Structure 1
């Protein structure tokens, strides 16, 4: 896996200019429309020599552009036009409002245009970029970022977020992170990486088995299951450090696992063994109350995942004879069966948008990722191909899934769009990487 050095400075994003969109409230890409199509976009560099401030690394501007283009490609919303089709050269380009030849861009089929330029000031990079509507000749957004040169990837991610928000109305997820489990050290430890697989760092050193990480809603902590004290139990790790692991399960000692944080951050759900049977419980985070039992059935109830409003929970139970998904009304404790196809359904994760539940299901002896509506309709297979695909986790915008697969031999982490397109491997270690958990968006 490609790694980057830990940042020694705080990334500072300074907005030098931010002009309001001339067509307020306009959605350029209706991602929910049956007639959705990707938006043709050109991305071009304005000659940096016009601004001075050359960088010691002459390839830095290209590196930033590469990350930006990768982000836009991962989203699936944009059709990036090939540079060889451009009618204008970099030396002839100018920022709006100095004079943009919108007709030249329209002639090659571009409907949106990104212009950017890069310069360096000491050990900092200054990246300036504009997003323009070619068809209306309007400037949509103009941003300027200043950061440590080592943080150039974060600069690209930040502007990619701006593009997606401006054109779809929904913020991008390019500055989010993914927690996962890796055997890189021999033990199964917790790691955190950028959403695209870069910047991986180990966050646990328990020299044991850690599985099923889950983010707190504020992105500051991870709940997870570990066997480091012999029996499985749920713990909470503060990613900022400075505090010991906190055990969540209270009086439940054996077979306590599968933590899920409620959307408001007030509860942690988990499964625990009671008289030899696994049931679901929730316990208040931060103290102030006792754990509450949520299920009481002869079957095994495990793997809870909350609905975005916190009123329901999807979980796995074998009460009908084999593992299936069920939805629990948290207030009434009533459960209804969700899946009726397949003889093994597991790993449920409820979309942050509330419209889908992702899960794994066994097909012809191998597990694949599926999605289904909370009312049980529209069961749709997302992944295909050799090997098992398991442990799906939604991006904060509900448009991408991270999952683990052994398609290449070892377990690795992949991304895929919810329609099954754009499958991309993001970990490349020689040891297994699994159990991805996508973080919430960082606080502004």
Structure 2
């Protein structure tokens, strides 16, 4: 029997050896050769992916594209600075990503990270995961034909985590320009930037719904470090929490054709270090609300499974996982099957 959750509780029911076969088939690893890789997104035709990866010769994530049919990664970012959150424009003419390559002290920043990694290697220290809200991070759009890189944000502070809406006219993103990370929306050329959330704590990782009316995001406003999933209208109205549990719920993503949201989550209600798995929620949309519904657990590997995204046709799922031979984070893809309502 598939483990089912309400939107407020992590279930502790007994499980079979694995539940993944009910939802995922033809699971395969699609990145290799990098120190680590992850947060991948599909091109509009579903034939190429864009992702962030740490190359062997550099300490920070860079942005790459790669055809799913095979082939070598192509560097999209400048090769320097911290980068993250790359996303194809719906017309496939541009790739948007965040980068700190304009940091005036970039050389010092790089040297400090290299020195820290070397010290960690010598001491055998494994640093706990944490995200650096680099204040020199801005959002850029790269023209894939000309190679021109255009800044879309120039405000002081961290601007990143951007995603286009379906028709490519709007971008939702995260910014801490006022001292606290919040959700913003802007036109695709960077104009008309508007703040949507203003709660204390981190609001980030926004994605606009397929119909263009809603933004799903993660927030630790309830308790610092414990993320929950929220939705808000693109007009800043009708904000609603979709999860409410003692855990971390992050990286939510809309299914492109059916009323489901997928995300990564871990139960922190018990002592110890919990494992991250993928969870799927069916929702109901009304005129002024997204209402949470039944939740299914999609993965149960001993490895960490995070940052899930659907292909444009909704038939494939891609995510970041440590289910590799060397336990490094890499991208995996599988064919996706919806749950049966009685599971």
- Provide TM-score, normalisation by structure 2: 0.69
Q: Is the 8 A contact 1:405 1:414 kept in 2?
A: yes
Structure number having the greater strand percentage: 2
- In structure 2, C-alpha distance between the alignment counterparts of 1:317 and 1:332, rounded to whole Å: 13
Q: What is the deviation of 1:289?
A: 4.2
1:233 to 1:416, Cα distance in 2 relative to 1, 3 A? same
Aligned to 1:441: 313
Conserved? CA contact 2:256–2:314, under 8 Å: no
2:303 alignment partner, SS class: coil
C-alpha spacing 1:332/1:244, structure 2 compared with 1 (3 Å):
closer
> Between Structure 1 and Structure 2, how many residues are aligned?
252
Is residue 261–residue 280 contact of structure 2 (8 Å, CA) maintained in 1?
yes
Query: What is the alpha-carbon distance in structure 2 between the residues aligned to residue 195 and residue 386 of structure 1?
Result: 27
- For 1:333, the equivalent position in structure 2 comes to 191
Give the Å deviation of 1:275: 2.1
The residue aligned with 2:241 is 381
Structure 1 position 267, deviation (Å): 1.0
Q: Which residue of 2 aligns with 1:271?
A: 98
Structure 1 pair 272–195 and aligned structure 2 pair: CA distance change class (3 A) = farther
> Cα 1:198–1:385, aligned 2, differ >3 Å: closer, same or farther?
farther
Report the Cα offset of residue 196 of structure 1.
2.3
What do residues 362-409 of structure 1 show as CA deviations (whole Å, max 9, x unaligned)?
Answer: 122310100110000010111122210000011012511110001272
Does the 8 Å contact 2:139/2:159 carry over to 1? yes
Shift of 1:427: 0.7
Which residue of 2 is the match for residue 259 of structure 1?
Answer: 86
Choose from 144, 148, 152 the match for 1:290: 148
Q: CA deviation at 1:207?
A: 4.9
CA–CA distance in structure 1, aligned partners of residues 297 and 33 of structure 2: 27
- Partners of 2:192 and 2:183 in 1: CA distance: 14
1:206 offset after TM fit, Å?
2.5
Q: Does 1:299 align with 2:157?
A: yes
Structure 2 counterpart of 1:364: 223
Match of 1:211 in 2: 38
Q: Which has the larger radius of gyration?
A: 1
Is 1:394 the counterpart of 2:254 in the alignment? yes
RMSD: 2.4
Shift of 1:195: 9.5
Select 1:349's aligned residue among 176, 183, 207: 207
- Stretches (4+) displaced over 4 A: none
**Equivalents in 2 of 1:440, 1:335: separation in Å?**
27
Query: Is the Cα–Cα contact under 8 Å of residues 152 and 189 in structure 2 kept in the other structure?
Result: no
Instruction: Give the match for residue 233 of structure 1.
Output: 62
Secondary structure of 2:205's counterpart equals strand
| 1:180-229: CA deviation from partner (whole Å, max 9, x where unpaired) | xxxxxxxxxxxxx9992333211112352212111111111111100123
**Gapped runs of 5+ residues in structure 2?**
5-19, 105-135, 269-273, 284-290, 316-343
Instruction: Identify which of 25, 28, 31 aligns with 1:201.
Output: 28
CA contact (8 A) 1:252 1:272 kept: no
Q: What SS does the aligned partner of 2:167 have?
A: coil
Mapped partners of 2:236, 2:22: distance in 1? 30
Task: Please report the TM-score for the alignment, with normalisation by the length of structure 1.
Answer: 0.54
Residue among 272, 279, 282 paired with 1:414: 279
Instruction: Considering fraction of residues, name the structure with more helix.
Output: 1
Structure 1 pair 400–416 and aligned structure 2 pair: CA distance change class (3 A): same
